[in-house]
Amino acid sequence: MAPSSRQAFLAPAIVTGWCLALAQLGYRIARHQLGANPIATALNQLGLLALVLLVASLCATPLKLTLGWTWPLRVRRTCGLLAFFTVLLHFLLYLGPDQGFDIVAVLGDIGKRPFIAVGFIALLLLVPLAWTSSKQAVQRLTFPVWQRLHRLVYAIAVLASLHFYLRVKADHTQPLIYASVVLIGFAIRLFAARVKAKAKRARVVGSASL
Ligand code: HEM
């Protein structure tokens, strides 16, 4: 069996896991099992799930470059889209149950609390990426343009880690771990791109001197 058909279960398995995680959260909300501040707990759980999915989608290319693994590339789009839907739910929970759909209060909160402003910018930047995540969008935009646009995901992941960092008051270990994974992945990509460009230059010089 070809590796691609052997790995066909990966994306449906991730979607199923995501649905189960949301169902479990919904069940705990319905059964009043989320403690004294259920909205804050649900917000935090969705925020963390979104960040994990976002960072997972970013690990695909560095894993291929360092370990030669190709299977994470097959689930990168699924993880990215699920991250977007989770952030959307995170935001809707904030907008509705937390802020009572009071747009003026939300705008005031964005102006007052930097961590909310940073999260909001990350959400806005995610929209064009989710919008252009289909194969048709790649064809429409052409691959180089699409690729340049989708590099935004690194900025989004840094903003998301910063949002988390600014939100926690005491122990910053967790947000720093996410930020480090994002930055290490970025450094690996940059290094690989430089090696590739150097090899290309050497080939051009080599063929010119023949
Ligand atoms: C890419 C976008 C975003 C990501 C990845 C994200 C992620 C997170 C994470 C990881 C947390 C903390 C979880 C914890 O402490 O365990 C959090 C908390 C929070 N986020 Fe976001 N977030 C994003 C966007 C937003 C947006 C757009 C808003 C609202 C405008 C928002 C509002 C909040 C609030 C209010 C909390 C704190 C909840 C509380 O403790 O009361 N986030 N988010």
Residues with CB under 6 A from ligand 1: 40, 43-44, 47-48, 50-51, 54, 87, 90-91, 94, 116, 119-120, 122-123, 126, 156, 160, 163-164, 167-168
Q: Whose CA is nearest to atom 9 of ligand 1?
A: 47
* Contact criterion met (CB below 8 Å) for 86 and 50: yes
Only one residue has tokens 């839907």, namely: 85
pLDDT tens for 199-209 read: 988 888 887 77
Mean pLDDT, to the nearest integer, of 125-150? 95
The pTM assigned to this predicted structure is 0.92
pLDDT of residue 187: 96
Q: Whose CA is nearest to atom 25 of ligand 1?
A: 119
At residue 6, does pLDDT exceed 90?
Answer: no
| Residue extents of the structural domains in the chain | 3-209
At residue 84, does pLDDT exceed 70?
Answer: yes
Mean pLDDT, to the nearest integer, of 103-111? 97
pLDDT of residue 4: 67
Other residues' Cβ atoms within 10 Å of the Cβ of residue 39: 15
Q: Any idea what DSSP says for residue 209?
A: T
